[in-house]
Amino acid sequence: MTAALDMLSLSTNSSSPGHTARLAQAAGVPLNRRVLSYHEAPPTSSSDPTLALQREFARPLYARPSALPSSTGAVTNKSRKIPTQPERVLDAPGMVDDFYLNLITWSCQNVLAVALAESTYIWRAETGTVSRVGEAPEGSYVSSVDFSNDGAYLGIGIGTGEVELWDVEAAQKLRTMSGHQGQIAALSWHQHILSSACGDGSIWHHDVRMPRHKVMELLGHTGEVCGLKWREDGELLASGGNDNVVNVWDGRVGDVGTEGARGTAKWTKRNHTAAVKAIAWCPWQPSLLASGGGSNDATMHIWNTTTGARLHSLRTPSQITSLLFSPHRKEILSTHGYPTNSLMLHAYPSMERIAEIRDAHDSRVLFSALAPAGDVVVTGAGDENLKFWRVWEVEKSKVGKKKAVGEVKEGRANSTTREGILSIR
């Protein structure tokens, strides 16, 4: 039609102008006007709607954040420097590369317990000696370890559902507490109560003194429970699971001996969008709880456990595998999995990044534990190394610079660890 009108407009001279105008009016296309379109057709959408949701979930795995500006792959604040190299490295052959397990614990007696496949090893930080404590039954593996508060006993969770109790000093098994049907992914002690988190989503309180050890059952997760931490005072227990839920439980166990007692969660949080393994209580503000989500969440939430309010949230570049509060400073350390494999140090409450050590391990950093002195953090990863990082130097304030250097050297000499590489097995 336009073409026809173009023709008409070209031949205006030959026909009556009034006629052309009337025709144009009738056709609704004004004269002396061109209708143009761009010569190319618009592009089709490059995004492919199939599996869009799944790709959305996998995206954090591919999006490695831009490299850090420094050559060492680490960034530190001007005012706050942390060593970007581990203080020492221990060989840990056979360490299981499984996000859901908790394979490192460090006791108040400065003893580090590490589970390597079916065996548990103890490394005494003072002497550097290594000894083997338990061994899981044939065909199974150790899925979690935790020291009792006094450091005298070690709880070992087995892949088949048993919870073992070991005397650390004598390296002797005291008892086996069975009953769980799935793997024990996390353990946490409070005095004589050893709480175990099971693959079927249940949490049991075991009274280790009692013959009938199971004193309470906490049901509040529909997926495997992989994060479990008692608050220091034993009033609250926090748990995180593969169902993306964070639960906080009242720690009162009730009448001892009432078999089948069940607890209910004080509150339940569903803000995470991936498994919650990283759980940490704040030592200097007991109501604070930090929780960190897995790969497609990668977000840290800080909760006020008294009110249940979410105080802060921080998105990180990759899955959060563990969280540690500093006992001396208002700081939180988080360890991360693929793609950054990093250690990150955040200020509280600003949540600013103070420091980051990229590629702390060759594979995802899975486990971490804090030395009793609160200065050294040990991290374990699927690359079968244990690395010790002096993240929080315990220093006396107001010392001159030269003195501070001496302090550091002295600190090194009688610190929790000594230089050197040693194999733990």
7 is a site residue for another protein (CB under 8 A): no
Q: Using CB under 8 A, which of the segments 24-32, 132-140, 224-232, 237-245 binds another protein?
A: 24-32
Q: Three-state SS for 395?
A: coil
Give dist(CA 195, CA 46) in Å, integer: 51
Cβ closest to another protein, residue 30 vs residue 257: 30
Give dist(CA 411, CA 99) in Å, integer: 34
Give dist(CA 402, CA 3) in Å, integer: 90
With CB under 8 A as the contact rule, the residue among 7, 26, 36, 421 that binds another protein is 36
Could you tell me if 25 and 14 are in contact, meaning their C-beta atoms sit under 8 angstroms apart?
Answer: no
26 is a site residue for another protein (CB under 8 A): no
Q: Using CB under 8 A, which of the segments 38-46, 60-68, 78-86, 267-275 binds another protein?
A: 38-46
34 is a site residue for another protein (CB under 8 A): yes
Interactions with another protein, residue window 44-103 (CB under 8 A): 44-47, 49, 52, 56
What are the φ and ψ backbone dihedral angles of 200, each rounded to 5 degrees?
Answer: -85, 5
With CB under 8 A as the contact rule, the residue among 19, 22, 33, 64 that binds another protein is 33
Question: Among 327, 223, 341, 332, which residue's Cα sits nearest to residue 277?
Answer: 223
Q: Using CB under 8 A, which of the segments 31-39, 74-82, 290-298, 383-391 binds another protein?
A: 31-39
Interactions with another protein, residue window 216-275 (CB under 8 A): none
| DSSP per-residue letters across 280-293 | EE-SSSTTEEEEEE
Residues binding another protein: number (CB under 8 A): 25
41 is a site residue for another protein (CB under 8 A): yes
3-state secondary structure 149-168: CCCCEEEEEECCCCEEEEEC
Largest CA distance in the chain: 116
Least distance between another protein and beta carbon 278 (Å): 29
What's at 109, amino acid-wise?
Answer: Q
Q: Using CB under 8 A, which of the segments 36-44, 136-144, 188-196, 263-271 binds another protein?
A: 36-44
Calculated CA dihedral for residues 192, 197, 200, 203, nearest 10 degrees: 50
Least distance between another protein and beta carbon 6 (Å): 7
Cβ closest to another protein, residue 12 vs residue 363: 12
Alpha helix stretches (DSSP H) within 240-293:
none
42 is a site residue for another protein (CB under 8 A): yes
Cβ closest to another protein, residue 42 vs residue 139: 42
- Where residue 168 falls (left for φ over 0; alpha for ψ -120 to 50; beta otherwise) is alpha
Q: Using CB under 8 A, which of the segments 39-47, 259-267, 368-376, 410-418 binds another protein?
A: 39-47
With CB under 8 A as the contact rule, the residue among 7, 35, 67, 421 that binds another protein is 35
Binding site for another protein (CB under 8 A): 1-3, 6, 28-29, 32-47, 49, 52, 56
